[in-house]
Chains A and B, each alone.
Chain A
Amino acid sequence: QSVLTQPPSVSAAPGQKVTISCSGSSSNMRSNFISWYQQLPGTAPKLLIYDNKKRPSGIPDRFSGSKSGTSATLDITGLQTGDEADYYCATWDRSLSAGGFGGGTKVTVL
């Protein structure tokens, strides 16, 4: 069972927008930063968003993150076929004294 809760899948047509939600609790998300990772098929995860909304260099601004209380979202605008991947949110959980990931969300471009 994952520390954070994500929808299993979301989908949209090319050029459209998808929003991936990530729900946590007071022991993790409320007091810690959220990061997001993209995992393309057969590859290692890649950092997309850190500190809730910051993008590493090289990540296009089509990807944006936000957090409010114990919920966070990742928005992908101008959806492209190359965005088909699994996306994971992650943070630290104080009660477990461990990091935790969401269960992952598969993005499908219709």
Chain B
Amino acid sequence: EVQLVQSGAEVKKPGESLKISCLASGYNFTNYWIAWVRQMPGKGLEWMGFIYPGDSDSRYSPSFQGQVTISVDNSISTAYLQWSSLKASDTAIYYCARLLPDWVLPNWGQGTLVIVSS
């Protein structure tokens, strides 16, 4: 069974850095892209970017380019989403998802709530 388990909720201050994780199991991690999706409070889903663990090729949506970094550690089948300097507007739930051809997301993590507040 494919599972994506994300790290727990975070409360941070503006300007702080953060790295959240997504642990994959039940499939060959290096063979499938992993996508990250943002959901701000009370709002819809936004595609942030995705990474291919096989060669760490990462792509970002224009709105998120330069704002976050997506990475992987294949030795522990884990994908990461990180910020170097958080803003209050980064407050959201962040989901990782396995990405199949034809832009299908059949498996999702449970989400990580990130709260940025002074």
Contacts and interface: CB of A to CB of B under 8 A. Distances in A.
- The finding on whether chains A and B are genuine partners in a shared complex, rather than unrelated, reads yes
Contact of A45 (B46, B49, B95): B95
Interface in B36-65: 37, 44-47, 49-50, 59-62
Interface of A is mostly: strand
A99 B50 CA distance: 9
B108 interface: yes
Nearest to B6: A44
Contacts of B110: 44
Contacts of B103: 32-33, 35, 90-92, 99
B106 interface: yes
A24 interface: no
Q: For the side of the interface on B, what is the size category?
A: 20 to 34
B47 A101 contact: yes
Contacts of B1: none
B104 A51 contact: yes
A101 to B, nearest CB: 4
Interface string A33-56: 101010100001111001100001
A46 B90 CA distance: 23
B35 interface: yes
The 8 closest A-B pairs by CB, nearest first: A99-B47, A98-B61, A104-B44, A44-B108, A33-B102, A50-B104, A101-B45, A92-B103
12 contacts: A35-B102, A35-B105, A45-B97, A47-B104, A47-B106, A86-B44, A98-B49, A99-B35, A99-B50, A99-B61, A104-B44, A104-B45
Given A35-B104, A51-B104, 8 more contacts: A37-B45, A44-B109, A45-B108, A90-B45, A90-B105, A97-B59, A99-B35, A99-B47
Interface of B: 35, 37, 44-47, 49-50, 59-62, 95, 97, 102-106, 108-111
